[in-house]
Structures are given as structure tokens and as C-alpha cells.
Amino acid sequence: MAELERMWAPWRMEMIRAPKPQNYLDEGCFLCDKCKQGGDDEENLVLERGRTCYCLMNLYPYNNCHLMVVPYRHTGNLLELTNEELGEMMVMVQRWTEIIGKSAHPEGFNIGMNVGRVAGAGMSAHLHMHIVPRWNGDTNFMGVVGGSRVINQALKETWLELKKQQAEVDS
């Protein structure tokens, strides 16, 4: 068996030890801000508004067409979601997986939710489900050697393309 390779990142300890605000709502929540009615959906990258949830593009995507489905209600506790919120969230995930499939033709998807900061949630105070399309070879040397990720299309262009595909699916 090969020896486990270790990657040292001691600079991350500063982030791990830094004090974390207890109530993120007091400091603002970008997910609450993005879904305010009357906002510019294109500017906020919002693709769809449902009754209890909405879908938007990730501003810092892992891959092109990386979306998030978010309940309007600000909670970081999965157990607090109602059956209506859970149901609409999953229907919206299913719908946008279909739309991304027809628009970008990925070979697979990562779909999931990080619940809690220790589980990797960047915004642990407001639940959200990620839809990340995947292609064979989309993880390559750029992330390892270059320390960067290549996103092959501008966010606004992707938003317009997804909205066009949404209209075709809806017709």
C-alpha cells in the first residue's frame, strides 16, 4: 500500500481559530439579500422564484452552471424546514438538473448540502442545496499546479443561456 501523501497548509489555522459570529443574520446574509422581492434577478443571478424557495447561480462556482436552491426562510437547521419547503427544494433541484443537462450537457452532477460550518458550509446560517454539473476531466492540473479553477463562461452569459433553456423546457 502506498504511503499517504500529506499536504501542509498551516496558514488555514488562522481561519480555523478566528472567532465566528454567533448570529449571522445580525451581520447580514447574502442569501436573504439575493432573494428580496423587487430585486434585479439578472443582477442577483436569480433564475427562478418559487413559493418557498428560489434558485440562483453560485457567484463563486466550482464549475460552469453551478447553482444553489435556497429556502426563503433564514435557517441553518435542516430539521426546521417544513415539508412544503423540503418538497419544493427537491422539485426545484430536479427541474434545474434537467435544464442544466439540456443546456450544458454535463456527464454527471454533484448535488448536496453542507449543513454546519464544520461540514463545509460557507454560509452555515442559511441552508442551501448545491447543483454542480460535472464533466470527465473537469478536475485537472490547473487546480493543483496553478491554484486556480477555470470557469469557461461568464456568469451573465450562463444566466442568459439557462433562462433560454428554462423557457424551452416550460413551453
pLDDT tens digit sequence for 108-122: 999 999 888 888 777
Ordered DSSP codes for 94-132: HHHHHHHHHHH--SEEEEE---SGGGT-SSTTS--EEEE
- pTM of the model as a whole: 0.75
- What letter represents residue 73's amino acid? R
Give catalytic residue positions. Answer: 128
The whole-angstrom separation of Cα 40 and Cα 111 is 26
CA atoms within 13 A on the CB side of 148: 4
Whole-Å CA distances, 8 to 5, 18, 31, 55: 10, 19, 33, 36
Instruction: Name the least confident of 15-19, 112-116, 133-137, 156-160.
Output: 15-19
pLDDT tens digit sequence for 94-111: 999 999 999 999 999 999
